[in-house]
Structure 1
Amino acid sequence: MKRFPNAYQKSGNLSALGPRKTFQLEETPGFGISVVTSLFPVIFMAVATIFSFVFKGDSKGKEIIEFIGTPGTAMLISLLLAIYTMGYARKISMQEIGESLSQSISQIAMMLLIIGGGGAFKQVLIDGGGGDYVADLFSRTTMSPLLVAWMIAAVLRLCLGSATVAALTTAGMAAPLMTAGDVNPGLMVLATGAGSVIACHVNDAGFWMVKEFFGLTMKETFQTWTLLTTVLSVTGLGCVLLAGLLIS
């Protein structure tokens, strides 16, 4: 706080969430339908995943269920259901529903464009083979497998911006290291996770979400959020290496 005082004087940008309104209890939907509506995407994707595991082989019915269970389709269907359960079923006119949807989109349009741009940049790096190239750099080394897993995840995270992609790619690369050396699998997981969260920056959607919601400048976001994730990652590595010495 002494080094970057301005970054800690922000109050957050609640305007991105739209105008605030106080509702009466009778104006709000029931608890049950609210919970079910919010869980619709999870239900669709869970049903599709379970169906794929239980029923092997190919069929038109299976393809349709798996298509419905994809994130994009599940969210679209859930949105349509939410328009009915939260709007039309509660005697709200389609004009009011349309105005509410338009207002919601306009409030977050710029943020969605920024996040989409970061995701597109990440995909360009992935399709260009950036992840495979970085992983190959550590294919032959005598360093500790824990340190190697952390380094691979950290470099992939810096290049690709996605902690999930970095962790999953590192998991595939670190598996042979576990068989070649005497290393605890749990510590490998922790090392990979610690490396995958390092230095969140401009190619990660989370960076832009933090920046926009808290009204920070680029410099202030680097000074706070990026620094925080870096400290978290390095501290995690230190704890994993220490645990490795104690367990061995």
Structure 2
Amino acid sequence: MCSFVLPKATLVGRVVAFIGAPDIAMLLSLCFAIWSMGYARGKRMPEIAGSMAESVKQIAMMLLIIGGGGAFKQVLVDGGISDYISTMFANINMPPLIAAWLVAAVLRVCLGSATVASLTAAGLVAPLMAMSPVNPALMVLAVGAGSVVADHVNDAGFWMIKEYFGLSLKETFMSWTSVTTVLSVTGLASVLLLSLVV
């Protein structure tokens, strides 16, 4: 936000950009936490270090799994799967709302990222909006509904749910993947019903 107000060429703009960089912001937060929850409360460094080590032990496996899921998603994105899906749906011949949902759903299942799926699908179905009288808000809702379908192993969120709730892979598929699929299909049905009155 500061980049819109402060020019980057100024010293203040460069300082704010440096402090706002994700790595620096996390480092500053860690330093503040060590001071406010450690030194300010009279704790010594060995006690603070022990507390930090215990905290990392509890979340280390989950962080590795989430990182692996994110890396797998990036391999798929860099491998050009979104371009391949774009060519598949280039000459699609179906109602625009269903097409928008389907494109976002296929991208979501292949890429794992709802954000990448929705942004890519929005770009792919934009020409459909220009050629049809469909309400743009309904197209946005259809893309959003499609982008949450069938969350599975290539999404970091899937692994977070699995680890937070201590579920097995099968249980996560049966619960979380099912929930996101029902959510997506219900969203599409709602959009189609809204299209009858809007």
| TM-score calculated relative to the size of structure 2 | 0.92
**Alpha-carbon spacing, 1:59–1:180, altered in 2? closer, same or farther (3 Å):** farther
Could you list the per-position Cα deviations for residues 219-244 of structure 1 after superposition, in whole angstroms to 9, with x for gaps in the alignment?
11111111111111011111101111
Q: Give the corresponding residue for 1:105.
A: 56
Shift, 1:84, TM fit: 1.2
Query: Which aligned pairs between 1:233-248 and structure 2 lie closer than 5 A?
Result: 233-247=184-198
Aligned counterpart for 2:154 among listed residues 203, 220, 225: 203
Distance 2:120 2:147 in 1: 10
Q: Give the corresponding residue for 2:28.
A: 77
Aligned counterpart for 1:173 among listed residues 124, 128, 145: 124
Please tell me whether the aligned partners of residues 8 and 14 of structure 2 are also in contact (alpha carbons under 8 angstroms).
no
Aligned counterpart for 2:179 among listed residues 228, 238, 241: 228
Could you list the per-position Cα deviations for residues 18-73 of structure 1 after superposition, in whole angstroms to 9, with x for gaps in the alignment?
xxxxxxxxxxxxxxxxxxxxxxxxxxxxxxxx221123564565344323323333
Distance 2:8 2:52 in 1: 40
**Alpha-carbon spacing, 1:64–1:143, altered in 2? closer, same or farther (3 Å):** farther
RMSD between aligned alpha carbons? 1.7
Output the amino acid matched with 1:153.
Answer: A
Tell me whether 1:132 sits opposite 2:64 in the alignment. no
5+ residue gaps, structure 1, are: 1-49
Tell me whether 1:183 sits opposite 2:144 in the alignment. no
Distance 2:58 2:101 in 1: 38
Please tell me whether the aligned partners of residues 142 and 188 of structure 2 are also in contact (alpha carbons under 8 angstroms).
yes
Distance 1:158 1:91 in 2: 51
* Number of residue pairs aligned between Structure 1 and Structure 2: 198
Query: Which aligned pairs between 1:1-248 and structure 2 lie closer than 5 A?
Result: 50-56=1-7, 58=9, 62-247=13-198
**Alpha-carbon spacing, 1:54–1:138, altered in 2? closer, same or farther (3 Å):** same
Distance 1:161 1:196 in 2: 9
Distance 1:176 1:72 in 2: 39
* Structure 1 stretches of at least 4 aligned residues deviating more than 3 Å after TM superposition: 55-64
**Alpha-carbon spacing, 1:57–1:63, altered in 2? closer, same or farther (3 Å):** closer
Distance 2:146 2:156 in 1: 18
Helix, strand or coil at the partner of 1:246 = coil
Which has the bigger relative contact order, CA under 8 A and spacing at least 6?
1
| TM-score calculated relative to the size of structure 1 | 0.74
Distance 1:56 1:140 in 2: 44
